[in-house]
Structure formats: C-alpha cells, structure tokens
Amino acid sequence: MEKFAFLQDQLDALKAADLLRTLRCIRSAAGPTVMVDGDSRARVNFCSNNYLNIASDPHVIQAVSQAARRWGYGASASRLICGTMDPHVELEERFAAFAGKEASVMFPSGWMANEAVLRTIPQKGDLVLMDKADHASIIDAAKAGEATFRTWRRDNPDRLRKLLAGGDYRRRFIVTESVFSMDGDTADLELLVELKNAYGAILIVDEAHSAGCMGPTGAGFAEERGLPAQVDIMIAPLGKAFGAAGAMVAAGRTVADYLINRARAFIYTTAPAPVNCAAVMAALDIIRSEPQRRRMLADNAAYLRNRLADSGLDIANSCSHIIPVVIGSSKDALAASEALYEKGFLLPAIRPPTVPAGSARLRISVQSRHTQEQMDALVDTLQDVVGH
C-alpha cells in the first residue's frame, strides 16, 4: 500500500476540500423512484438521465430478450474483424434515417464517439472551437488531437467571431452541446449556423441531452430549431433518453467511412453487444410512436422550472429538462444533498471540477413520469433545505 500512499494523500486532500466522490448502489430498475444501497425506503429519483422512462420499458426488455436468444450477448470481436452483425447494420441504417443523414456509425460510449470524431476528423493545421462548457469528453478529445483548439463562452459570441476570422487555418470546426449538461440552457444554434456559413466552418453538435427528447420526431434540438441539415456531424449518446448504452455519430457517408477506417476508438475495441442495438431500435420505435412522452417531459420541466424560480431558487438560465439549483460551496451542496436524501429524494451534489469553483449545485434531471406531487414535494423540501 505504501507504493500508492501518494494517491491516498490526494484522496485525503479531496475529502478535506469536500470534493471526494463515493458510489451509491441502485438496487432497482431505473425509474422515477429507486431503491438505494440497503435502505428499505424508496427515494424519488431526480438525477437520472432516463428522461423518457424508456430504460425499463417492457417493449425494450422484450426486444433485448428476443435478440439475446437469437444473437447471444457479446459481439466477441471488433467491427472490422467479425463483430459487425445484423443488429449493428440495421441500427446504423435506421439511426441515419432518424437523424436525416446519409450514414451513422455506432460506438460503445458517448466518450468514445466524441474521441473518435474530434481526434480523427480535425487534423493538423485545422482549428477546433468549443464552448467552454462543452462536455469533458469533447474538451479532452480536442486536446488530444493534432488540430489547434480554442474555447469561447456562449455569452461572448464576439470571441467566437474573432477566432473564426483570425489565423491561417485549413479548416475550422465549431463544436457545441445542444443542451448543456450542467446548466440546462441551450446553444444559440441559429447564431452558430450563421457563423458556420459565413466562415465556411464545419458544425459538430453533441445532442446527448436532446436526442429523443426534442424535435417533432425526437431527432433533437437541431430538428426542434428547424436546422438539422445545417449540422454537419451529429453525435447522439444512447444512455440518456434512449435508455441504452453507446453512441451514434450521424453524418455524410464520407465521414462515416473515414471514421470506420481511421478512428482508433472504432477500430481497436470490441463491437457493442447486439442486444444493445436491439434496445436502441426498440427505443427508436417508442420515440417515434409515443410523442406524448416528449410532451410530458417538456410539461414537467416547464412546471418544475417555474416552481423553482418562483420559490427564489437559483436555476441559472435553464430552459430544458436539466435544472440546476446553484448553491455555491461544495460543503453546502453536499449538506443539501444529504438532507434531501434523508427526506426521500436522490439528488447528488455536483462539485468542481465538473462545475466551476463556487458554483456547486444540485442538478435536477426531470423524467416524463415524474408526478406533480413529486415535483411539488421536491420544491418544498428544497426551500427548507437550501434556506431560501
């Protein structure tokens, strides 16, 4: 153990700064309420990304069961060896049509999809411009690539204009999340499209928290804004509204073929399980045939945002189903989270480095099946706990 004393010292420092992370075990299927650790009392779950309550839907379970009987569980090889199976091909065709693109490629995780796109497609001599609040997988992938990368803040579009106009670069890429995962606000997609066209840039949008949840057919925020054709590359992680795992990259055929040939995150990993493909296709069926789930989610989110704001709680600029309650210090956020847990709610504290220092928060994730009674109880409890 002494060999790793330097790690324990750092863990001790994290604990002293109220930044140590620990795991809680969920002992029931994903849903608006869950069983946690060894407690006999269910908690109302306001932190899951299971926005449309698809993860444990009976249709998904049936599709997975049927696929397992036919295909087994694992693919047992990388995609380029013998790991490409009928479910992978069918899903990629269906998702491309869903996204309105020529092709799509599946990856084992959203992190790997972002790594594949941003380490492979922007190249030496190119410029990658990212919103400062983009997900860590976007930032880390761009840092690891050969292109130059710079950040801007969405409240300072003039910096983005200057970055696009300056320098001698072969190509320029604009990368953004559609719904920002910690603040719950959305990208100014109209502005980004305007700048993309003005400077001949390539626009990449990570629809992690909007695919399935937004748009007339559920294809995401770009579809909701009427701009899906303006997005050159769409990244859609599948562990949120789709209730599964993995991620899709949807784009033109040339982009898809290039990723298959050059993306290390695609080439050197075992293919996603075929049963997972079956789960995603079942989710696509639900998203297409049950638009009421999106309406219920949007209605719940609007109701809860209004109630929280009327109660004097700081919800930043949230306009989606992700609603932060900004508290400030990590210590206070942890205390609020524990108090909520004791009162029947699961809502972990979000602390640095996930959010900037001084902006620790409780991040509420709304689900389509949350009831008004559950949301009212959360607001009332937050008022007592946070002290506003």
DSSP annotation of 374 reads H
What are φ and ψ of residue 57, in 5° steps? Answer: -65, 140
Residue 26 amino acid letter: I
CA pair distance 184, 195, nearest whole angstrom: 23
DSSP annotation of 3 reads G
Joined together, the tokens standing for residue 60 give: 């998904």
CA pair distance 132, 130, nearest whole angstrom: 6
CA pair distance 158, 289, nearest whole angstrom: 42
DSSP annotation of 26 reads B
Strand partners, 172: 127
What are φ and ψ of residue 207, in 5° steps? Answer: -100, 35
DSSP annotation of 268 reads T
Among 378, 302, 363, 272, which Cα is nearest to 47's?
Answer: 363
Neighbours of 230 (CB within 10 A): 17
Three-state DSSP at 230 gives: helix
CA pair distance 211, 167, nearest whole angstrom: 34
Q: What phi-psi label fits residue 295: left (phi over 0), alpha (psi between -120 and 50 degrees) or beta?
A: alpha
| Angle at which helices 58-71 and 274-289 cross, to 10° | 150
CA pair distance 370, 53, nearest whole angstrom: 10
The HSE-up count of residue 296 (CA atoms within 13 Å, CB side) is 14
H runs (alpha helix) in the chain: 5-16, 58-71, 86-99, 110-120, 136-144, 157-165, 189-199, 221-224, 253-262, 264-267, 274-289, 292-310, 330-342, 372-386
Catalytic residues: 49, 135, 177, 181, 206, 209, 240
